[in-house]
Amino acid sequence: MNVTIYDVAREANVSMATVSRVVNGNPNVKPATRKKVHDAIERLGYRPNAVARGLASKKTTTVGVIIPDISSIFFAELARGIEDIATMYNYNIILSNSDQNKDKEIHLINAMLGKQVDGLVFMGGKITDDHIREFKTASVPIALAATVDESGETPSVNINYEQAAYDATELLLSHNNEKVAFVSGPEDTVVNTQKLEGYKRAMKDQGHNPDQWIVTGDYSYDSGIEAFEQLMEMEDKPSAVFVSADEMALGVIHGAQDNGVRVPEDLEVFGFDNTRLATMVRPTLSTVVQPMYDIGAVAMRLLTKFMNKEEVEDQSVILPHRIIERNSTQQK
């Protein structure tokens, strides 16, 4: 049997309420008895049972984190931001992978609520009405990270994907490229749709056909290679390509190089995210900086505010993005 608060109370000759007080740092305890209790705790090797505490206090100091895939370089960075801030505020994290599968997502939300998490950070592709319904029954706060809820009902932290894609496309266009292609991600996520819209808006603003040079990948390196091949099969080949994720952009670069196409001389390549990969390729990748770690950190911070019932000015946080030019695009 493990040692309980009652054992400590007996050992220290006080009541369990007093032990509870010193364990929880309640100031209303005489220093002398505080010491007695601490000594008893030390002697017995007492370790408070967080489950019992959770049942009695209705707070578990743990938050649920639903993530598409922790082995993705992108989400892992987000997760690190979330976990760091959680630790800072004394929360632990229950982490589960959803693979962006809606049924799994709904199931995970319920499993975590069953475990009485104090809050939830959710990352996913598309927030449906079913998600919203689950969130509403939750009775604990939720924050979305790098995930947009079009209804705007759920607190979230993002960048402006549409504008970021616009900026990237416009930069490519400003390099005298007439034909700028876009390698899209899976088409069923809101983030991707927004990127696509930003690309199209930039193309239209400069009087170009926005629909001619679009191919679709799945964010993977290999799909970048395939995307490059599709681009080269076009009769009217693009001279620049904006790729919706860095890893996929590396695939495009290597696909080009493997086929004797020089980057950036023959083809300019632009990425998205600024993962660590962007500097781990030659030429180094020009890309949109999305602050993954910060998005995770801010989302968790936002969640702590809700959990503490603090005032929150704006529940839809948009973090700034920026462009970083490296060597996969022409120097101006």
* DSSP codes, 15-84: -HHHHHHHHTT-S-S-HHHHHHHHHHHHHHT----HHHHHHHHS--SEEEEEES-TTSHHHHHHHHHHHH
Smallest distance, a second copy to C-beta of residue 173, A: 28
Q: Which of 10, 11, 23, 330 binds DNA (CB under 7 A)?
A: 23
What 3-state class would DSSP assign to 318?
strand
Question: Which amino acid makes up residue 186?
Answer: P
> Considering CB distances under 5 to 8 angstroms, the limit depending on partner class, which of a second copy, DNA, none binds residue 87?
a second copy
By the rule CB under 7 A, 331 interacts with DNA: no
Smallest distance, a second copy to C-beta of residue 331, A: 17
By the rule CB under 8 A, 316 interacts with a second copy: no
By the rule CB under 7 A, 87 interacts with DNA: no
Helix or strand (DSSP H, E) at 225: helix 221-233
Smallest distance, DNA to C-beta of residue 118, A: 13
By the rule CB under 7 A, 29 interacts with DNA: yes
Q: Which of 39, 42, 43, 52 binds DNA (CB under 7 A)?
A: 52
The count of other CB atoms within 10 Å of the CB of residue 273 is 27
Smallest distance, DNA to C-beta of residue 285, A: 51
Token readout for 61 is: 């100091």
Instruction: Cite the beta strand spans of the chain per DSSP E.
Output: 62-67, 92-97, 119-122, 142-145, 156-159, 180-184, 214-216, 240-243, 268-273, 286-289, 316-319, 322-324
CA dihedral 282, 284, 288, 289 (to 10 degrees): 120
Q: How do beta strands 62-67 and 92-97 pair?
A: parallel
By the rule CB under 7 A, 60 interacts with DNA: no
By the rule CB under 8 A, 115 interacts with a second copy: yes
By the rule CB under 8 A, 88 interacts with a second copy: no
Number of residues that bind DNA (CB under 7 A): 30
The one segment of 24-32, 75-83, 168-176, 207-215 that binds a second copy by CB under 8 A: 75-83
The one segment of 24-32, 64-72, 295-303, 304-312 that binds DNA by CB under 7 A: 24-32
Span 235-294, contacts to a second copy by CB under 8 A: 247, 250-251, 254, 257-258, 276-277, 279-282, 293
CA angle (274 as vertex; 144, 74 as ends), nearest 5:
45
Smallest distance, a second copy to C-beta of residue 282, A: 6
